[in-house]
Structure formats: structure tokens, C-alpha cells
Structure 1
Amino acid sequence: MNWLFVVLGAGIGAPLRFLTDRTVQKKHDTVFPWGTFTVNVVGCLVLGLLTGAVTAGAASSQVQLFVGTGLCGALTTYSTFSYETLRLAEDGAKLYAAANIVVSVVAGLGAVFMGVALAEVLWG
């Protein structure tokens, strides 16, 4: 039955990723992949908050499967991040490619730490 939580979360996360990516990217006239960056950082924040909630006993394993594995798993995308970084480098935008790597990793880690810290405040 646990698989159902994952499927339901992914059913929300995948379209949310697509719609968010398209909406954010339309607002920026640049080759930098702001849409993918946004969904990945938001996913990291949500996953950090969820991890803190689970650690504090404020979220069940079913919530962890639904939000963490399903929703965040479908919302975030390491493969698209990698592909877009490769495309930037191949198209001669090496500075954008390097910036995408550094900024995505730093922002993602920062967001996960912020999520855990927020969970500490809320449930700690």
C-alpha cells in the first residue's frame, strides 16, 4: 500500500514541475535554466522541512513517502539539471554552465538546511 503514497505524490509533483518550469522560464529572457533551478531549490526546502518534521515525530512515514519520495522525487530533477548544464557548455555558455553547477548545489544545500532549521523552530 505504501507505493500508492509514492504514486499519488508523483502525480502531483511531475505536473507541478512542468508548470513551474515553464512559468518561471517564460519570465526570464536568458539561457540560464531558472525553471529547473527553481523546482530543485524548492524541492530541497520541502525535503529539509519534511526531514525535520519526521525527525521530530510531526510527520508519519506515509507523509514521508507521499511528500518526500513521491512529490519531491517528481518535482526535482537531477537529470534535467545535468542535461541543461551539458547543453550550456556545448553551446559555448561555459560560464552559465559553471554558474548553474555552483549556484544549484549551494542553493540546494542552503534550502535543505533552512528547511531543517524551520522544522526545528516549528516542531523542535
Structure 2
Amino acid sequence: MIELLVVAAGGGVGAAARFMVDGEIRARHSGGFPWGTFVVNVVGSFLIGVLATLTFALVERGAPEDVASVLLLALTVGLCGGFTTFSTATMESVRLAQSGRLRLALANSLGTLAVTVTAAGLGMAVGGLFG
């Protein structure tokens, strides 16, 4: 039951943060490319890499696995899962394609995939420096 509660709490905080960050970016950048969604997905992927690596390092240093597991769920599945939104990125790519902006749709789809995977890897590297 605790796992469900920490995921729900983290997810709520992450979703609220996404709403705020995305709104700020959209207010500053109009145009065709969905920068708000792109940025939250990249930042969230980086954070997942950092947080997961640091959590695994805690276990290696002797932290109880059940505590680390709950922490991992709260931060990665909950917080970062609520913050990131690949479903919205996908929908935005479809909308771009439907409106005839195929290059933007492709850039959003492939760019999101390439940059978020890279961000997660960088996050793991950064987490490894501190873990």
C-alpha cells in the first residue's frame, strides 16, 4: 500500500510541475514546435537517470532495499513519471503531421526519442559521479 501512496504523491507533484513548466515555455515560445513537452521530457529523462543511479548506489552502500525501492518508486515512477509525458509528445507529432507540418512532426518524434535517451544516459553518468 505504501508503494501506491508514494507513486500517487510523486505523480501528483510531477504532473503539477509539468503543468507549470510547460505553461511557462508555451507562453514564451509560440510557433509550431511543442517546446514545452520536449523540454519536460528531456529534463525528466535526465532526472530519472540521476535518481535511479543514486538510489541503486544507496543499496550498494548498505541502505535497506525496501527503503530504496520505495524511494525509487516515489522519485522515478511517481515524480518523474508524472512530470514526463510521451503520450502528449506523440499526440503533438500526430497533430503536426495532420496539419501538413511533416518536418516538425518528424523532428518532434525522432528528436524526442534521441534526446531523451541521451539525457537519461547523461543522468546516469552524473548520478554515477555522486553515487
- Please report the TM-score for the alignment, with normalisation by the length of structure 2: 0.89
State the match for 1:13 in structure 2: 14
Equivalent pairs, count: 123
Give 5+ residue unaligned stretches, structure 2.
none
3-state SS of the aligned residue for 1:56?
helix
Note the 1:50-65 alignment, pairs <5 A: 50-57=51-58, 60-65=68-73
Partner residue in 2 for 1:78? 86
State the Cα distance separating 1:57 from its structure 2 match: 2.0
- Name the residue aligned to 1:115: 123
Moved over 3 A (4+): none
Moved more, 83-92 or 73-82: 73-82
The root-mean-square deviation of aligned C-alpha atoms, in Å, is 1.3
1:87-124 deviation per Cα after TM superposition (whole angstroms, max 9, x unaligned): 0000011000010012111110111011000011111x
* Identity rate, percent: 37
Highest CA radius of gyration, 1 or 2? Answer: 2
TM-score, length of structure 1 as denominator length: 0.94
Match of 1:69 in 2: 77
Unaligned runs of 5+ in 1: none
Q: Deviations over 1:9-45 (max 9, x none)?
A: 0110111111111111111121100000011001100
